[in-house]
Chains A and B, each alone.
Chain A
Amino acid sequence: MDLLAIDVSLGLEKLLLIGGIITFSLIVAMYTTYAERKVAAWMQDRRGPNRAGPFGLLQPAADGLKLFFKEEIIPLTSNKTLFVLGPALAMVTAMLTSAVIPWGSSIELFGRNVSLQIADVNIGILYVFGVVSMGVYGIMIGGWSSNNKFSLIAAVRGASQIISYELAMGLSLIALLMMTGSLSLKTIVAQQMEGGWNIIYQPLGFLIFLICVFAECNRTPFDLPEAENELNFGYHQEYSSMKLGLYLFAEYVNMFISSAVVSTLFFGGYDIPFVNEATLVLSLGVNTVAMLGFVALFAKILFFLFLFIWVRWTIPRFRYDQLMDLGWKKLIPLALANMLITAVVILWLNK
């Protein structure tokens, strides 16, 4: 059936996929907050949340309910529309990136070949950058419309930090893209399935990229916009109830999605390590292998989520000038050098 020259069943399939992925990332983000507390407790010899449900498993639900039922305060002097727009934008941009990540190879359902990727656009990774650069506005608009000096300073800090680290991030990726010759994430994963993971060829690029991801997510050691001993509470100082919740939650969704991007770019995405998928398909069938691939990707994502939490409870916060020094004077030259070396090696091998 065609309506307005659109394939309706394709649209329905994509709609279901989008709904599924968004629900999934929200649930994972929910339990990342739980994991963060549990891991922190484990590192500090405490028990962590253990009252709500068995092992405290219902704690995220309890937190969510608490936030929903709290009184919603909009400061009198603030700009109301923008004040509401801020957290919404933060959440939406956090989710948008998931569109280009290949969550698995394709599965077969009702005789249709369903790809587990919402959009395989040929600008793939650039799309991620575009959305990340939009993510700045959530923080900036929220911080500005709070009409609070601390919020404004935190917002400007956050925005300049994200812009600065975007540069090093892009430069470290150029080396990777020179090797793969494609911007599409699906192609990058397919190449890693054959030629080994990119982390083997680009260890320095991976390190720079990872540091930049930490800065982009405003995570410790780069959580300057939330430095409570300098800025009270950060850009969400004036926020209460679920609007505050959305800001805090967007951070966890960002962590999840960036873990997915890192595993896709450098750790083979849905590639099952030490297994040849092509032969596995013959014995297990397409759907099982696709599910196994998804599990492999999810395991990699979980490792990076753990890394985020681990670093948070290990490394103290940078000072602001140190952060800028690291970004502009260390990471960018390092990324440029990495790019040059990669280019020379590629030229030398192709001679």
Chain B
Amino acid sequence: MHINEILFWFLTALALFSAMMVVFSKNPVHSVLWLIMVFISITGHYIIMNAQFLAIVNMIVYAGAIMVLFLFVIMFMNLNAESEPQKSKWMKFAAVLSGGSLMLILIAALKDNVGFISSVHGEGSIGLIKNLGKVLFTEYVVPFEISSILFLSAMVGAVVLGKKEPSNTVS
């Protein structure tokens, strides 16, 4: 067995287990921490595929920045296992049904696509920063710029929403 294969199966098991724990944990803070584990194991997968840049960006942006903000919100709202509202039985049933059908569709869509498992062995250098940068700034420069404008507008929107209204209580 090649070392990459062992690592692949280990990371896969870790990612799946952590993903399960995200769902099953009663405490929202634990859920977020397990979600961080999922992201870290996915980062491991990227590294196995020699996509170093993607791996580290996944680490910085998802596991680092976004999850910290999640933690902020949860810690401030003081959500605990006790204060979590119990969903109704129908709600749970509908959630299981929709989640199950999503999984079915994913499996159906991906089952013929065996190629992506064989790309485990870390050859290929498209994920290295040099090649990625070249492709991003020549071939895909227009979508890249458009998405950056999208981010900018989202940022401006967030600032506008977060800005306090000038108080007109004193007249």
CA distance A140 to B73 in the complex (A): 12
A163 contacts partner chain B, Cβ-Cβ < 8 Å: yes
> CA–CA, A187 to B129, complex, Å?
15
Q: Is B3 an interface residue (CB 8 A)?
A: yes
* A173 interfacial contact with B, CB 8 Å: no
List the interface of chain B (C-beta within 8 A of A): 1-3, 6, 27, 29, 33, 36, 52-53, 55-57, 59-60, 63-65, 68, 71-72, 75-76, 128-130
CB-based contact B60/A133 at 8 Å = yes
A152 contacts which of B36, B53, B75 (Cβ < 8 Å)?
B75
One of A4, A133, A144 near B64 (C-beta < 8 A): A133
A-B contact pairs, 13 of them (CB 8 A): A4-B1, A6-B3, A79-B27, A121-B52, A123-B52, A123-B56, A127-B56, A130-B60, A133-B63, A137-B68, A140-B71, A144-B75, A155-B75
Are A136's CB and B64's CB within 8 A?
yes
* Proximity string of chain A (248-270) to chain B, C-beta cutoff 8 Å, 1 when within and 0 when not: 00000000000000000000000
- Whether A134 and B59, one on each chain, are in contact in the complex, defined by CB atoms closer than 8 angstroms, is yes
Interface residues of A in 199-236 (CB under 8 A from B): none
Query: For B27, what are the chain A residues with a Cβ–Cβ distance below 8 Å?
Result: 79
Which range contains the number of A residues in contact with the other chain?
Answer: 20 to 34
Chain A nearest CB from B159 CB (Å) reads 11
Our pick among B2, B29, B60 for the contact of A144 (Cβ within 8 Å) is B29
Docked CA distance A107–B64 (Å): 36
> Do most interface residues of chain B lie in helix, strand or loop, or is the interface mixed?
helix
The answer to whether B2 touches A4 (Cβ under 8 A) is yes
Contact of B56 among A130, A140, A141, A159 (CB under 8 A): A130
Residue of B29, B57, B64, B75 with most partner-chain A CB within 10 A: B64
Asked if A122 is at the interface (CB within 8 A of a chain B CB), the reply is: yes
Cα A121 to Cα B55 in complex, Å, equals 12
A5: CB under 8 A from chain B? yes
Given the complex, which residues of A lie within 8 Å of B68, measured CB to CB?
A: 133, 136-137, 140, 159, 163
Q: Which residues of B contact A61 (CB under 8 A)?
A: none
The 6 closest A-B pairs by CB, nearest first: A133-B64, A130-B59, A126-B56, A4-B3, A123-B52, A130-B56
Chain A residues with Cβ below 8 Å from B29 are 82, 144
A105-129 CB contacts (< 8 Å) to partner B: 121-123, 126-127, 129
Q: Which residues of A contact B (CB under 8 A)?
A: 4-6, 79, 82, 121-123, 126-127, 129-130, 133-134, 136-137, 140-141, 144, 152, 155-156, 159-160, 163, 183
The prevalent SS among residues of A at the interface is helix
A153 to B46, CA, bound (A): 35
B76 touches A156 (CB 8 A): yes
Docked CA distance A79–B129 (Å)? 41
Task: Decide: A5 and B3 in contact? CB cutoff 8 A.
Answer: yes
- Cα-based distance from A127 to B75 in the complex (angstroms): 28
With known contacts A4-B2, A4-B3, A130–B52 Cβ distance under 8 A: no
A126 near B36: Cβ-Cβ < 8 Å: no
Residues in B with CB closer than 8 Å to A127 are 56
Q: Which residues of A contact B72 (CB under 8 A)?
A: 156, 159-160
Contact between B59 and A122 (Cβ–Cβ < 8 Å)?
no
A4-B6, A5-B3, A183-B129 are contacts. A126–B75 as well, Cβ < 8 Å?
Answer: no
Residues in A with CB closer than 8 Å to B76 are: 156
State the Cβ distance, A140 to closest chain B Cβ, in Å: 6
Q: Is the CB of B1 within 8 A of A163?
A: no
Contact A122 B128 (CB under 8 A): yes
Q: How far apart are the CA atoms of A3 and B68 in the complex, in Å?
A: 40
Residue of A with least CB distance to B67: A137
A121: which B residues are within 8 A, CB to CB? Answer: 52
Give CA–CA (A129, B58) in the complex, Å: 12
What A residues does B2 contact at CB under 8 A? 4-5
- What A residues does B65 contact at CB under 8 A? 133, 163
Residue in B53, B55, B60, B75 whose beta carbon sits within 8 Å of that of A156 in the complex: B75
Quick check: B3 and A126 within 8 Å, CB to CB? no
Please name all residues of chain B whose beta carbon is closer than 8 Å to the beta carbon of A163 when the two chains form the complex: 65, 68
Shortest C-beta distance, B25 to chain A (Å), equals 12
